[in-house]
Structure 1
Amino acid sequence: MIVNLTKDGWDVIYHRAHALLAAQLGGHWRRADFPVRFYKTIAAISHHDDLEKEWKGNNLTESGAPLDFTLRHLVTIKEV
């Protein structure tokens, strides 16, 4: 998951939601600038995070904060 600390708590974005948003943005590509394989490109964008882990197990740090995927390598298995 993608985690951003805010003044009021956390913004948590699941990888698949991020990929679908990216595809929606790609859908607004100017027609004149479409890549040769536009529809395949949009399909690839929408599935680029499909192999990320689903929401299973404990995805919290030892202190109880949501664990951003970019920080997973910094914690031990006991913390995760």
Structure 2
Amino acid sequence: MAAAAALGFFLFFVLIVAAIAGLSVVWPVWLSALVVAGGMLLIMLIFIGIGARKIKKNKDLYPAASIERIKNSIL
């Protein structure tokens, strides 16, 4: 599992480099890198927005059952 996770981690970077190399056929390399970075930034901002919305939605959650279980195990 660890080896697969490590290979998956490096595969992500290989795919980024492949996207930059593919776009560099049409555009200069620096512009290809900026376009790929901009796309990744856009995806990151979308994920941040989704996560922030979920955190705000569940802000009032209180782990009452866990607290009671810990109190009962201590006392």
TM-score by length of structure 2 reads 0.30
Structure number having the greater strand percentage:
1
Higher relative contact order (CA 8 A, sep 6+): 1
Between Structure 1 and Structure 2, whose CA radius of gyration is higher?
2
